[in-house]
Amino acid sequence: MRVDDVTTDETLMLMEGMVAARHPCQVVTVNPEFIMRARDDRAFREVLESADLALPDGQGVLWAARRLRCPLRERVTGSDTVPRIAALSAARSYRLFLLGARPGVAEAAAVVLAREHPGVQVVGTYAGSPAVEEEAEVTARVIAARPDFLFVAYGAPAQDLWIHRNLTRLGVPVCMGVGGTFDFIAGITPRAPLWMRERGLEWAYRLWQQPWRWRRMLALPVFAWLVLCQHRHARH
C-alpha cells in the first residue's frame, strides 16, 4: 500500500500548491484499518492507490514502515491537519467546506474553528449523505460554495469512495476524507491525551470511549502479524 513520506509542514505546502494549481486533487489518510480493509475491497484499494497524496495517519503505519526498513518521518493525521488548514484560511482567505458527520456537528465544528482561528473562511457546512441518490444535491451545494478545501466526514471507505466518484464534477482543489475529525473539533468526541497519541495509544483511548469499535480494532493485531511475517520473509 502506497504511503507518502511527508511531514505536516510538507503536507500543508503541497496542499497550498494544489490550491494554486486549481486542479481537483484527492488526499487520503492511510492507517492500518484502511490497509486491512483495502486487502479485500478492490474499489477502496484503487482509490487509495490513485490518490494525489496519501498521508501516513496512524502510529501502526509508522511502526510497520520501520520494521520493513522504509521508515516514514512523521505521522500526519486528518484531525491535526484540519485545524492547521483553518489557520491558513484565516491568514490567506482559503475557503473551507465541512461535509458530513451527524446533523449539526459540522456547524458546531465551524463555530469552534471560527473561535480558535478568527477570520477562517468556512463557506459551507452540510451533513448530507454518501448515498449515490443524494450526490446531485450534495455536489450542487459544494459547487455553489466554491471552496478551496472540502473536508468529508462520512467515515471510511464511504467518504473516500464518494470523493473519488465526484472529484472531477466538484472541481475542488483539495478534497480529503477526515473521519471523526468534526466530532473531535466540536468536542462531541474527546480526543486521546497528547501523551497517548505520541506513544501510539490513541486506538486504546478510542476503544475505551467507543467500545462498539472493537470489531474494527480486530484488524490491528492481524495487521501487526502480517507486517512481522513480511519482515521475517525479507530477512530470509
In percent, how much of the chain has pLDDT > 90? 77
pTM for this entry: 0.88
State the pLDDT confidence band at 205, using cuts at 50, 70 and 90.
Answer: low
Residue 232 or 33, more confident: 33
| Helix, strand counts (H, E) of the chain | 13, 6
CA nearest to 27, candidates 139, 172, 180: 172
pLDDT digits (tens, 9 = 90+) for 99-153: 999 999 999 999 999 999 999 999 999 999 999 999 999 999 999 999 999 999 9
Rounded average pLDDT over 26-51 = 96
Q: Can you tell me the distance from the alpha carbon of 114 to that of 233, in angstroms, rounded to the nearest whole number?
A: 51
H or E element that contains 226: helix 219-235
Residue 197 pLDDT more than 90? Answer: no
Assign residue 201 a region (left: φ > 0; alpha: ψ between -120 and 50; beta: otherwise).
Answer: alpha
Asked if pLDDT for residue 199 goes beyond 50, the answer is yes
Mean pLDDT of 197-217: 58
Residue 157: per-residue pLDDT: 96
Which pLDDT does position 236 carry in this prediction? 56
Residue 226: per-residue pLDDT: 86
Among 192, 220, 188, smallest CA distance to 206 is for 192
In the prediction, which pLDDT does 214 show?
42
